[in-house]
Structure 1
Amino acid sequence: MQVYAETRAGSRTDALKIALVAFAMGVALVFVTGFAHSEAIHNAAHDTRHALSFPCH
C-alpha cells in the first residue's frame, strides 16, 4: 500500500509542475503579444487580449 501512496503523490506533483509551466507559458504569451509592436502579432491576438481584459491600446 505504501508504494501506491508514494506513486500517487509523485504523479500529483508532476501534474502540478506541468500545470504551472503551462500557466507560465500562457501568461508569457499574453504579455509578449500585448507589448509587441508588430502589427501582425497585434491583430492576431487582439480579440484574445480584450477577452482577458488586457489593455492593448
Structure 2
Amino acid sequence: MTTNTQAKAASTNLATILFVAILGAGLLFTAGFANSATLHDSAHDSRHAIGFPCH
C-alpha cells in the first residue's frame, strides 16, 4: 500500500467512527430526554441498564 492509499483509508475510518459516534449519541439523548410517555416506556429499562437517569 502506498502512503496516499493509507491516508485515504485512515480518513475514511475516522469519518465512519465520527458518524457512528454522533448517531449513537443522538439516539441516546433523543430517547433519554423524550417527553413522550410511549417513548419513555419503551426506553425505560435500557436507560436504567446503562445508568442513564430518567427520573
* TM-score normalised by L of structure 1: 0.79
Runs of 4+ aligned structure 1 residues displaced above 2 Å come to: none
Unaligned runs of 5+ in 2: none
In structure 1, list runs of 5 or more residues that go unmatched: none
Count of residue pairs the alignment pairs up:
55
The match for 2:25 is 27
Give the TM-score, by structure 2 length: 0.81
Percent identity, aligned pairs only, is 42
- How big is the alpha-carbon RMSD for the aligned residues of Structure 1 and Structure 2? 1.4
